Amino acid sequence: MHTLDDLLFLMTRLRDPQYGCPWDIKQTYATIVPYTLEEAYEVADAIERSDFEHLQGELGDLLFQVVYYSQLAREEGRFEFAGVIDSITRKLIRRHPHVFPTGDLYAPLDVPRLSEEQVKVRWDEIKAQERAEKSAAPEQLSLLDDVPVALPALSRAAKLQKRAAQVGFDWPAALPVLDKVREELDEVLEAMADNDSVAIHDEIGDLLFSVVNLARHLKVDPETALRGANAKFDRRFRFIEQALRDTLRPIEDCTLEDLDALWGEAKRQEKNLPSCG
């Protein structure tokens, strides 16, 4: 069975200026980023579908992205893969003092067990300290400084809100957030009535941001929830297509009422409810 050392060696061969792969030789940090994002989503997709048969391979694809960046950095004399491993290990030891109180990875496990809430509070404190240490001007430090701009918009909205909530800038419960969602929806309707495309764009953004806030208060990850809704739509629309194929009826010849009836049938079948007709 191949080892991590084999994968690192393979990467150096792929990037060999004389004998390597022409495609791999020309890649840069920036050109690899889209593949990294794609591989991360494929891991998430395999987990969501409980496709454990292929999860191992998807994790390997994601690991290869880390190896790729490390090789690029190694060629430029910036750092090596071993440094990546050392960095994350040190960070996790530092952020888990309730497990490694002495900072010794292999010290005996003989420390008081903290509650999940205590762990969360300590984690946030440690991360805040790390942000302050990284900042050239700590007095200008923002809670939002290290929330990546490149995150999917729903995920970034949730992280921004979570950070602001750490200092009390948050709704006290879910119901007031629901009122805010209704308020934002009314503002979308007003913009539509004015036929103001710029305002519609802006208000739709506010509405989505409020829905993310509602999801956060209800302990729902908005990105995962939307992915689930996408999968549901995909599944039900494919049911419509197949039902029409079975009756040799082109989808273009159907009315919206016809398609909606088939959509309802798809929902009934998913819920194992008897059909009405």
pLDDT in tens, 166-189: 889 999 999 999 999 999 999 999
- Cβ-contact 218, 225 below 8 angstroms: no
Q: How far is CA 201 from CA 187, 195, 206, in A?
A: 11, 11, 9
Q: 131 vs 187, which has greater pLDDT?
A: 187
CA–CA separation, 19 and 24 (whole Å): 11
219: left (phi over 0), alpha (psi -120 to 50) or beta: left
pTM: 0.68
29-38 exposure pattern, b = at least 16 Cβ within 10 A, e = fewer: eeebeeebee
Residue 195, burial from CB neighbour count under 10 angstroms (0-12, 13-18, 19+)? exposed
CA angle 218, 221, 226 (to 5 degrees): 110
The pLDDT assigned to 149 comes to 87
Average pLDDT of the chain, as a whole number: 90
- Cβ-contact 166, 234 below 8 angstroms: no
The pLDDT assigned to 276 comes to 46
pLDDT band at residue 194 using 50, 70 and 90 as cut-offs:
very high
Q: How far is CA 115 from CA 98, 119, 123, 229, in A?
A: 10, 6, 12, 33
Q: Report helix, strand or coil for 67.
A: helix
- Quick: pLDDT tens for 239-251: 999 999 999 999 9
- Quick: pLDDT tens for 54-80: 999 999 999 999 999 999 999 999 999
- Asked whether the predicted pLDDT for residue 229 surpasses 80, the reply is yes
- Quick: pLDDT tens for 92-114: 998 888 888 888 888 887 777 77
